[in-house]
Amino acid sequence: MVGPAIVKLAYEASRGRREHLWFQVHRFLNGRIDATLTNEPFDVPRLTKGQRGEHDLERVSDWILYSPCGQITPKSQAAARRVRADFDRLRGGTG
């Protein structure tokens, strides 16, 4: 019922700052995320768009879960409440 998840991960940039990059999540592991980078880094030379790998959960700076009722984010749980309220119908039940 919940669609794809994406996470924003913070990586050290070559100029001493941190760059926050979006990754498509494939699976969650013990303390790590298996994910593919979805955008081209500006200043992180060791990463390229489309690169898949495992990343530490400590790097997560944002996340989005997609659902039939909209995006679920740290800032908005409204779609999660709608999914919960209409769970049987959304999963194909008779509700």
**pLDDT tens digit sequence for 16-47:** 899 999 999 999 999 999 999 999 999 999 99
CA distance 95 to 87: 8
Check pLDDT > 60 for residue 68: yes
Q: Which has more confidence, 36 or 4?
A: 36
Per-residue pLDDT at 72: 74
The separation between CA 54 and the C-alpha centre of its own chain, rounded to angstroms, equals: 13
Whether 21 contacts 37, CB under 8 Å: yes
Check pLDDT > 50 for residue 1: no
Check pLDDT > 90 for residue 60: yes
pLDDT band at 51 (very low <50, low <70, confident <90, very high): very high
Overall average pLDDT of the 2-8 stretch:
84
Taking the CA atoms of residue 35, residue 24, residue 73 and residue 4 in that order, the dihedral angle to the nearest 10 degrees is -110
